[in-house]
Structure 1
């Protein structure tokens, strides 16, 4: 049985796929033979199967040590790819309110420069036993550096510099960088971001795995999901490779003048996964005047705000819906004989089935009434296995999609423009 079900019937006619198969196969062979120009950035491709066992064990041991030390909160400091994957996985399993509680609470900081946010987060942990995991390959990222300094100083004030080093873990480059030097000088535990893995592809490296271990996610199941995705999509045949079929569908729709892909979910616990997806596709494809704009939406909530535009506005977008077939927990709606609220037709019904009905209704309205292409990706349930599978699915799909567009999936040259301007502006403060 397939882990996901990719439904393209309301998006494109897949009979056109045959004319692209040769091109897909050539790109696939170039990726897997590492003959593409960007071969030095393909480390993520088989990362789930080649993790360093010693480092994996070291991460497990430190997570267990912190738990035994009764650490209440781990402050995960990073921005972009250094935190989005970990934040997505944490919300996926432990979003409040949830029946499942983490071993250790995670707080994500250093992803903006809001004074109010940082002060609130510092106040939140001031009277807690907390630890820090700071994540940055270079150590130069401004948001991360500011937050790390403030939390590190607070921790040292609370427990002393000697004790603080037991409660700080640095995830950074293997040989260079500001954080590498700090960890070496101060004696912090250090985990390695592989040289051949870029930030937005790093969720299955120590960047994501160590925070997951601290929270208590089953990382073996997570990696098993990613490994299964790698195995299932090892052949380029579009009849069997849903990752490439999704990539090609996006490409074909972009050629039909659609400029925006709206990733929709019907579960609030998927919100940060959608944010991870947005960075993955935006930074990888948005180059040389090309690429779809990746946006996200939460239904049914946004049907009451964006629904009008989607249904009747400018024809600039197509939809991709992520839907979990089985809920982690469900609710059977209560009955009310008086029926004052006029919803007796829902008495005794599963709330998840109500959610599904809304999905089908919106799909019908948007596609049949407004001719909006709709891609649907269904998976079994929101657990670690499916999370790992979807991480790998989208990274594989993105890479194929970018090469179809003719852009480098692994760089982000335009980001340097704002950073240079920021440096000039900050020097004038």
Structure 2
């Protein structure tokens, strides 16, 4: 099956598995998809109070976008480094976009973006503070409540560093993204008179990349958030149809649901361009927290080919038949290099002379697909045209809407994460937090 969206901005989905996609398009599945779509549009589906992301690209306030851009320009003027403090959706979305847009070994960002608060490591934080001594610094702390342990620890150290180094000027260099009405971080921001941006009440962390949560760091780095939002807005419009033959997000959801129900509970995202590595990491949080509940859900994993063909590739080819692969392919790349002819063909590579490495990479993809299909691994292929802001914006929205459909097909609320709290209770008890 191949689905190509019409217009100048293609998003193609190619699906190969042991069966026929058309066999999934039944009156029953059509009825399910229509019911899911109608419930989401009417805001009556499970977790509907967190569906604000669904129409966000088309409804975002232009004044908010302008304020984000002006703030990004201020950060660029005052700082060499922006430290973004957050965990989960408060950092993964921005990190995914920044890595996808960054050419290898090219430092083109107007401000270096460094993340903190996404792990608990004294060595990481201590060395970060030492590194900052040689830079001009700004900080963007992102937390709905201000009490999430990992970012709260990082902010305590970094806030202290900023105040000791910059004195009263620190307040001009710290930017807060938090709840509009309440929370410990909001109280601090008011007390210190920090510039504030809002985490929308109706958008959960893993769906928040296109809000101030992700847009401010992305804009500070110098990337076009206008183009990022334009790509997402195009996706919002094109993927609103419930036509099972035309909508690739629904097709992806249906195939995933079919494979899950026929004994494939593990999905491996496979990339062939390293720049997409953190898109995979963001996708793993999106899928893992949205679907992994009530003893249900596809387990999301990731590999980077061809690197992992020389490690995990053996298991994928010949291991237990419980997984399917989703290739995330890029049709064209900005930079490439052509294989040269060597006088002494000792490495026996002259057969590649005149071929670009993108062509070789395409052959790796096709060879891997053929091998894994022959080994009994179902394969889904998502192909995007390039690695531009427009395309990445489209891809992020594609994943979010498809994930929502996938969770609803499993009769799961895509927008809560009750299991995340379990480790926190144990951690508080082990650290003797009052009340635990």
Q: Same fold (TM over 0.5)?
A: yes
Q: Which moved more, 1:387-396 or 1:49-58?
A: 49-58
**2:420 equivalent among 397, 409, 415:** 415
**1:323 equivalent among 329, 342, 356:** 329
Q: Shift of the alpha carbon at 1:17?
A: 2.5
Aligned to 1:190: 196
Q: Distance in 2 between matches of 1:313 and 1:319?
A: 13
**2:86 equivalent among 74, 78, 91:** 78
**1:63 equivalent among 72, 76, 89:** 72
Q: Shift of the alpha carbon at 1:68?
A: 2.1
**2:393 equivalent among 363, 369, 388:** 388
Q: Which aligned pairs between 1:261-340 and structure 2 lie closer than 5 A?
A: 261-340=267-346
Q: Shift of the alpha carbon at 1:96?
A: 4.2
Residues 1:40 and 2:46 are matched in the alignment = no
SS of residue in 2 equivalent to 1:289? coil
Q: Distance in 1 between matches of 2:103 and 2:88?
A: 20
Q: Distance in 2 between matches of 1:105 and 1:11?
A: 46
Residues 1:180 and 2:180 are matched in the alignment = no
Q: Distance in 1 between matches of 2:19 and 2:385?
A: 24
Q: Shift of the alpha carbon at 1:275?
A: 0.2
Aligned to 1:50: 59
SS of residue in 2 equivalent to 1:185? helix
Contact 1:319 1:372 in 2 (8 A): yes
Contact 1:221 1:385 in 2 (8 A): yes
Q: Distance in 2 between matches of 1:138 and 1:290?
A: 29
Contact 1:332 1:350 in 2 (8 A): yes
Q: Distance in 1 between matches of 2:362 and 2:14?
A: 15
Q: Which moved more, 1:72-81 or 1:419-428?
A: 419-428
Q: Shift of the alpha carbon at 1:18?
A: 2.2
Q: Distance in 2 between matches of 1:126 and 1:202?
A: 31
Provide, for residues 166-197 of structure 1, a one-character-per-residue CA deviation record: whole Å limited to 9, x for no partner.
Answer: 11000000011111101011000000011000
RMSD: 1.3
**2:236 equivalent among 218, 227, 230:** 230
Q: Distance in 1 between matches of 2:248 and 2:274?
A: 25
Residues 1:30 and 2:39 are matched in the alignment = yes
Aligned to 2:144: 137
Q: Distance in 2 between matches of 1:259 and 1:36?
A: 24
Q: Shift of the alpha carbon at 1:213?
A: 0.6
Aligned to 1:14: 21
Aligned residue pair count: 425
Q: TM-score, length-normalised on structure 1?
A: 0.97
Q: Distance in 2 between matches of 1:304 and 1:29?
A: 46
SS of residue in 1 equivalent to 2:55? helix
Q: Shift of the alpha carbon at 1:11?
A: 5.6
Q: For structure 1, list consecutive stretches of 5 or more residues without a partner in the other structure.
A: none
Q: Distance in 2 between matches of 1:38 and 1:143?
A: 26
**1:88 equivalent among 75, 78, 96:** 96
Q: Shift of the alpha carbon at 1:370?
A: 0.6
SS of residue in 1 equivalent to 2:25? helix
Residues 1:343 and 2:349 are matched in the alignment = yes
Provide, for residues 139-185 of structure 1, a one-character-per-residue CA deviation record: whole Å limited to 9, x for no partner.
Answer: 1111101111111111222211x101111000000011111101011
Q: Distance in 2 between matches of 1:15 and 1:348?
A: 41
Q: Distance in 1 between matches of 2:305 and 2:126?
A: 32
Q: Shift of the alpha carbon at 1:63?
A: 1.0
Q: For structure 2, list consecutive stretches of 5 or more residues without a partner in the other structure.
A: 1-5
